[in-house]
């Protein structure tokens, strides 16, 4: 290559934009050889993972989605400028939108992914592996 940097493909760009916990789920799905797409537009949203064009997997960060095992409903998330209750309602609305369009929905919490990756792997294998 002559002095120019090689451009990343769209897929490489999307993969490199995944956060730490999304990358862990990405790697589990790859290990299990489950076909999926990442960062897929569905309705007015972008979903983390779409499996077999009918299952949506969303990866919820404990802070950004205010994991109810760690935060009360009144907690104010400064990053999102909303209370935990408002964030939970927004997430529930997203889920309802997906389900109304015929998708099955699975959310995975950061704590689960980090502390019990073997359980996440088992859950995904049971749902999707052939």
In tens, the pLDDT along 57-69 reads: 999 999 999 999 9
CA angle 129, 109, 42 (to 5 degrees): 70
Q: Note whether residue 84 is domain-resident.
A: yes
The pTM assigned to this predicted structure is 0.86
Which helix (H) or strand (E) element contains residue 107? Answer: strand 104-109
Whole-number Å distance between alpha carbons of 65 and 80: 9
Beta bridge mates, 76? 83
Name the pairing type of β-strands 36-42 and 45-51.
antiparallel
Q: Note whether residue 38 is domain-resident.
A: yes
Structural domain tally of the chain? Answer: 1
Instruction: Reply yes or no on whether the pLDDT at 115 is more than 80.
Output: yes
CATH number at residue 105: 3.40.960.10
Instruction: Reply yes or no on whether the pLDDT at 1 is more than 50.
Output: no
Domain that residue 31 falls in: 19-128
Q: Note whether residue 1 is domain-resident.
A: no
Q: Note whether residue 112 is domain-resident.
A: yes
Instruction: Reply yes or no on whether the pLDDT at 81 is more than 90.
Output: yes
CA 24 to chain centre: 10
Q: What is the pLDDT of residue 9?
A: 64
Q: Note whether residue 14 is domain-resident.
A: no
């Amino acid at each position: 290559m002559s002095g120019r940097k090689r451009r990343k493909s769209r897929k490489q760009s999307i993969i490199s934009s995944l956060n730490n916990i999304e990358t862990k789920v990405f790697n589990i799905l790859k290990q299990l050889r489950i076909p999926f797409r990442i960062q897929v537009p569905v309705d007015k949203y972008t979903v983390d993972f779409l499996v077999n064009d009918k299952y949506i997997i969303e990866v919820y960060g404990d802070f950004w989605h205010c994991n109810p095992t760690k935060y009360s409903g009144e907690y104010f998330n400064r990053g999102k400028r909303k209370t935990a209750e408002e964030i939970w309602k927004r997430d529930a609305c997203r889920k309802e939108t997906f389900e109304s369009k015929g998708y099955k929905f699975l959310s995975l919490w950061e704590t689960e992914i980090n502390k019990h990756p073997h359980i996440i792997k088992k859950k995904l294998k049971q749902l999707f592996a052939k």
